[in-house]
């Protein structure tokens, strides 16, 4: 119980830091320069030009129906943390509007704004993902679509949604430079997020040797990840143990690591990069 409470405290502290970094990226670099980098954040930046409502408040309002849908269809713990993250992003973004100056890219420094804004958002997202949280928005929608259409690649779904928002930004702001800046911001954001969460690979293959293999397998299965069990024998001890093999999407990698650590801190784990994974829950084998 104490470990669980301590873990939640650490999670919340990291989520606060992640939300602060993400919000500063939006306020200082992205929003004031009319860059709509996809997702709910991009939609909020577009709508604030019409409604005059702060970007932080719009992010919160747009996330309400998505969070409700997430609670119904997705993992409850992740959604609780997502709800906390969205609330903190709203608070930090609104506070930043009152106290933090912005970076004006009107002098031709749009690329700088896109790089630094995308970097801040990517770092914030990566830290949040590592604590089993998200920034809400299209992350929730992507997970819902991926849950019921397992042959769809999550990255492809996210890319399509981002393209729709970027196109809407072009229609509103009428400047092709803003589209290019948004593309740069999305690219930098995704690269930094990937690096923080799991490196540059899309999936990971994990071999887990533990005395609590059944418990670990049951928890991994709850995350909609397949598990294969092998019978193994220690060459030195001669003891029989079960070895678990599983392929993990980037969005679940940190969660699976935590499951193993919680069930057996002394578990022996080998993790390798998996450039291509075929089968149920991944790409169909053609």
Length of the chain: 286
Quick: pLDDT tens for 206-241. Answer: 888 888 888 898 888 887 778 888 887 776 677 777
pLDDT higher than 70, residue 286: no
pLDDT for 192 equals 87
CA distance 252 to 241: 25
Cβ–Cβ under 8 Å, residues 105 and 113: yes
Question: What is this structure's pTM?
Answer: 0.73
Residue with tokens 């119904």: 72
At 9-56, the pLDDT tens digits run 999 999 999 999 999 999 999 999 999 998 899 999 999 988 888 999
Residue 243: φ, ψ to 5°: -105, 130
Tens digit of pLDDT for each residue in 150-187? 666 666 677 788 888 999 988 888 888 989 999 999 99
> Radius of gyration (Cα) for the chain, nearest Å?
20
Cα distance between residue 41 and residue 55, in whole Å: 8
State the Cα–Cα distance between residues 174 and 97, nearest whole angstrom.
25
Q: Residue 233, by phi and psi: left (phi above 0), alpha (psi -120 to 50) or beta?
A: beta
pLDDT, tens digit (0-9, with 9 covering 90-100), for 191-211: 888 778 755 446 778 888 888
Q: What domains, with CATH codes, occur in the chain?
A: 2-197 (no CATH), 203-274 (3.30.70.120)
d(CA 26, CA 121): 7
Closest CA to 88 of 8, 162, 24: 24
pLDDT of residue 229: 84
Residue ranges in the chain assigned as alpha helix (H): 2-24, 39-51, 55-73, 76-99, 110-130, 138-148, 154-173, 176-197, 213-222, 250-263
144/182: higher pLDDT: 182
The pLDDT value given to residue 198: 55
Backbone φ, ψ for residue 153 (5° rounding): -85, 130
Residue 24: its pLDDT value, please? Answer: 96
CB 254 within 8 A of CB 133: no
Query: Over 80: is that where the pLDDT of 63 sits?
Result: yes
- Strand ranges for 196-285 from DSSP E: 203-209, 228-233, 240-249, 268-274
pLDDT at 141: 83
pLDDT score for 276: 63
Distance between CA atoms of residues 158 and 202, nearest Å:
14
pLDDT at 265 exceeding the cut of 70: yes
């Amino acid at each position: 119980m104490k470990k669980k409470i301590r873990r939640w405290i650490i999670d919340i502290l990291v989520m606060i830091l992640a939300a602060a970094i993400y919000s500063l990226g939006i306020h200082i670099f992205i929003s004031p320069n009319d860059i709509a980098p996809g997702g709910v954040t991009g939609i909020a930046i577009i709508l604030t030009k019409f409604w005059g409502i702060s970007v932080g408040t719009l992010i919160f309002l747009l996330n309400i129906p998505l969070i409700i849908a997430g609670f119904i269809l997705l993992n409850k713990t992740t959604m609780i943390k997502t709800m906390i993250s969205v609330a903190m992003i709203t608070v930090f973004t609104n506070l930043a509007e009152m106290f933090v100056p912005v970076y004006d890219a009107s002098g031709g420094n749009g690329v700088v704004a896109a790089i630094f804004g995308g970097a801040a958002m990517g770092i914030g997202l990566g830290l949040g993902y590592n604590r089993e949280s998200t920034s809400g928005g299209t992350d929730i929608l992507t997970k819902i679509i991926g849950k019921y259409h397992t042959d769809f690649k999550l990255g492809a779904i996210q890319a399509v949604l981002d393209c729709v928002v970027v196109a809407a930004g072009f229609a509103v702001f009428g400047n092709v430079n803003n589209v290019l800046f948004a593309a740069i911001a999305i690219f930098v954001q995704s690269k930094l997020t990937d690096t923080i969460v799991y490196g540059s690979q899309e999936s990971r293959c994990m071999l887990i040797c533990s005395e609590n293999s059944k418990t670990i397998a049951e928890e991994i299965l709850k995350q909609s990840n397949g598990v294969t069990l092998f019978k193994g024998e220690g060459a030195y001890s001669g003891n029989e143990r079960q070895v678990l093999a599983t392929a993990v999407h980037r969005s679940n990698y940190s969660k699976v690591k935590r499951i193993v650590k919680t069930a057996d801190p002394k578990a022996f784990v080998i993790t390798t990069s998996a450039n291509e994974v075929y089968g149920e829950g991944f790409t169909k084998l053609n």
